[in-house]
């Protein structure tokens, strides 16, 4: 008689110990930081107050930078997988699936390499002018990798054989609870393995499909609408612009003053930031000052002012006129306003405020009043 010694089952770990073990791994810690970054993004969209939004924006950018450290050498694993596929180490996949996997991991590896080239710029150690261009190309490769991953998962679902419950046993056999030498029937194992593979492929489609929005929106291939704020901020924009017109069969670009009503200032793509420069005492008087500010043309008598006139210089004149009027009080000096505005824009630019939307370049100047905008 033989006595079989059974090993007592290990006690189940608590959730705290499971979480601790999860965060000890590189992948687990990176996913945890990604969750916190997502919560920060939600807090930013809620826009509780400007101070909290600024803090959450800083936290989001720092978390994004921290996550880049964890995947700095991820390209090695990607190219290692490509080398293994090219070497024919995985013969379970067909030619088509192998080609898709090679393309997928190659594109993902190139994404990591290009992203690594901009790490010093993101850390503000060595800013470069080509950062945006390299990131766009990197996100294109990320988009390709995710697309190939989804394609491979869909093909895997279509061609993965299913083991039906009806075929678990032959027609002359009946299910039995008795195990053969302590092993479960092989058909049950095959069915469980097939179901697990299909579940993993479906999860991959969902996850990669959601991630596809990030590079797609960044490079402009996918249009993603943003939620409108609960209380739209209406404003009036005053500026001068030059447009090509034909006068007596001659082309010219005269400057003209323009007053535009904005239903929601947050949806105006050409306004990067708003800077308060004074308190409006009379909106009517302030508007009259802006409308009466002269606009110089190339053929004006005062050639010195006409030669130096542009949309940026136009802002200087109404600022001085408003300072000497009763329409606005406590108007700051032009140099201080411009310096503070540029510093604020640079701060937001370094935080990545406009990376996923516009081109992120700052041109001209935006000076805001309590009731509207003067933009150049």
Q: Which tens digits make up the pLDDT trace of 27-39?
A: 899 999 999 999 9
Would you kindly state where each structural domain of the chain is located, as residue ranges? Answer: 15-161+196-219, 235-351
CA atoms of 336 and 273, how far apart (whole Å): 16
What per-residue confidence (pLDDT) applies to 65? 92
- Residue 68 has what pLDDT? 93
Residue pair 280/325 in contact (Cβ under 8 Å)? The answer is: no
Higher pLDDT, 306 or 19: 19
pLDDT at 320 exceeding the cut of 60? yes
**148-197 tens-digit pLDDT:** 999 999 999 988 666 554 444 444 444 444 444 555 456 667 777 888 88
* The 3-state secondary structure of the chain, one letter per residue: CCCCCCCCCCCCCCHHHHHHHHHHCHHHHHHHHHHHHHHHHHHHHHCCCHHHHHHHHHHHHHHHHHHHHHCCCHHHHHHHHHHHHHCCCCCCCCHHHHHHHHHHHHHHHHHHHHHHCCHHHHCCCCCCCCHHHHHHHHHHHHHHHHHHHHHHHHHHHHHCCCCCHHHCCCCCCCCCCCCECCECCHHHHHHHHHHHHHHHHHHHHHHHHHHCHHHHHHHCCCCCCCCCCCCCCCEEEEEEEECCEEECCEEECCEEEEEEEECCHHHCCCCCCCCECCEECCHHHHHHHHHHCCCCCCCCCCHHHHHHCCHHHHHHHHHHHHHCCCCEECCCCHHHHHHHHHHHHHHHHHCCCCCCCCCCCCCCCEEECCCEEEEC
pLDDT at 2: 58
Tell me which of 62-66, 83-87, 211-215, 278-282 is least confident: 278-282
Rounded Cα distance, 47 and 52, in Å: 8
The pTM assigned to this predicted structure is 0.60
Tens-place pLDDT, residues 328-370:
877 777 777 778 778 777 777 766 666 544 433 333 333 333 3
Structure tokens at 31: 């996913």
* pLDDT tens sequence across 232-261: 778 888 888 887 777 777 777 788 888 888
Taking only the tens place, the pLDDT of each residue in 188-233 is 677 778 888 889 999 999 999 999 999 999 898 988 766 555 567 7
Amino acid 368: pLDDT: 38
The mean predicted confidence, pLDDT, of the chain is: 79
Closest CA to 371 of 289, 282, 239: 282
Cα–Cα–Cα angle for 259, 264, 267, rounded to 5 degrees: 100
Q: What is the pLDDT of residue 1?
A: 54
Q: Which pLDDT score, from 0 to 100, does residue 362 have?
A: 34
């Amino acid at each position: 008689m033989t006595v079989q010694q059974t090993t007592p089952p290990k006690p189940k770990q608590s959730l705290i110990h499971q979480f601790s073990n999860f965060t000890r791994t590189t992948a687990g810690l990176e996913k945890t930081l990604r969750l916190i970054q997502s919560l920060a993004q939600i807090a930013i969209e809620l826009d509780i107050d400007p101070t909290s939004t600024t803090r959450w924006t800083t936290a989001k950018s720092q978390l994004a930078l921290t996550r880049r450290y964890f995947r700095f050498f991820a390209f090695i694993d990607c190219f290692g997988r490509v080398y293994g596929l090219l070497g024919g180490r995985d013969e379970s996949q067909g030619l088509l699936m192998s080609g898709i996997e090679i393309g997928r991991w190659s594109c993902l590896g190139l994404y990591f390499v290009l992203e690594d080239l901009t790490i010093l710029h993101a850390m503000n150690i060595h800013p470069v002018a080509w950062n945006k261009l390299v990131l766009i190309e990197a996100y294109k490769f990320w988009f390709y990798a995710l697309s190939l991953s989804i394609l491979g998962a869909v093909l895997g679902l279509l061609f993965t054989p299913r083991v039906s419950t009806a075929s678990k046993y032959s027609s002359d056999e009946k299910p039995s609870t008795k195990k053969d030498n302590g092993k479960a029937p092989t058909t049950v194992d095959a069915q469980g393995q097939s179901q697990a593979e299909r579940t993993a492929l479906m999860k991959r489609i969902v996850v990669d499909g959601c991630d596809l929005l990030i590079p797609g929106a960044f490079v402009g291939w996918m249009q993603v609408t943003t939620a409108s704020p609960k209380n739209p901020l209406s404003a009036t924009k005053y500026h001068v612009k030059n447009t090509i017109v034909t006068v007596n069969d001659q082309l010219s670009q005269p400057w003209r003053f323009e007053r535009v009503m904005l239903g929601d200032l947050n949806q105006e793509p050409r306004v990067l930031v708003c800077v308060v420069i004074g308190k409006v005492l009379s909106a009517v008087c302030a508007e009259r000052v802006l409308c009466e500010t002269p606009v110089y043309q190339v053929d004006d008598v005062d050639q010195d002012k006409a030669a130096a006139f542009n949309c940026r210089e136009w802002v200087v004149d109404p600022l001085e006129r408003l300072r000497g009027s009763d329409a606005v009080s406590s108007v700051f000096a032009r140099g201080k306003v411009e310096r503070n505005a540029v510093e604020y824009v640079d701060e937001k630019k370094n935080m990545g405020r406009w990376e996923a939307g516009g081109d992120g370049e700052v041109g001209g100047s935006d000076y805001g009043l309590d009731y509207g905008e003067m933009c150049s």
